[in-house]
C-alpha cells in the first residue's frame, strides 16, 4: 500500500549506484507522481537524495536533471539528435547514458516493472 492509502503503481525501479555498490533504490509511481526510496548506504554523499528520507516529485525531477548534461550546454540540439532524442527529457537521457557523469563514479540502473 502506498503512502496516504493509495495503491502505488510502481512501473520503474532505479538503482542508484557508486561503482558496483547499490546506494539508493528508487521506486517510481508515475501515475501518482510519487517515489519511494530505500537507502542502502550510510554515506550521505553516495545517496541519491542525501539526507532527505522522503523526497517529493519535484526533488526527483531535480535529481534526474542533475544526472544529465546541462540544458544550456553548447550544441545541445546536436547532442540530443546524436542520442536519437527530439527534446531535452532527463529520463530519456538517463535511459541512454545510465546517468553517468564525467566527474563521478555514480550511475543509474533502470529496471522496468511488470504490472
- The H or E element that residue 80 is part of is helix 76-82
**CA separation for the pair 46, 18 (Å, rounded):** 7
Of the candidates 40, 18, 19, 38, the residue with the CA atom closest to the CA atom of residue 27: 38
Annotated domain spans of the chain:
3-112
- The H or E element that residue 97 is part of is helix 90-97
Chain segment 33-53, per-residue pLDDT in tens: 999 999 999 999 999 999 999
Chain segment 8-38, per-residue pLDDT in tens: 799 999 999 999 999 999 999 999 999 999 9
Cell matching residue 84: 536519437
Residue 8 pLDDT:
73
Mean confidence (pLDDT) of the chain = 93
Cell matching residue 68: 544529465
Flag whether pLDDT at 70 surpasses 90: yes
**CA separation for the pair 77, 87 (Å, rounded):** 8
Flag whether pLDDT at 67 surpasses 70: yes
Amino acid at each position: 500500500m502506498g503512502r496516504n492509502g493509495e495503491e502505488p503503481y510502481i512501473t520503474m525501479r532505479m538503482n542508484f549506484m557508486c561503482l558496483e555498490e547499490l546506494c539508493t533504490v528508487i521506486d517510481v509511481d508515475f501515475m501518482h507522481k510519487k517515489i519511494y526510496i530505500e537507502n542502502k548506504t550510510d554515506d550521505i554523499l553516495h545517496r541519491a537524495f542525501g539526507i532527505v528520507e522522503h523526497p517529493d516529485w519535484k526533488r526527483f525531477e531535480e535529481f534526474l536533471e542533475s544526472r544529465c548534461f546541462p540544458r544550456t550546454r553548447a550544441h545541445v540540439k546536436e547532442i540530443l539528435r546524436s542520442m536519437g532524442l527530439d527534446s531535452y527529457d532527463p529520463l530519456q537521457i538517463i535511459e541512454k547514458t545510465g546517468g553517468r557523469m564525467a566527474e563521478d563514479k555514480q550511475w543509474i540502473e533502470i529496471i522496468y516493472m511488470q504490472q
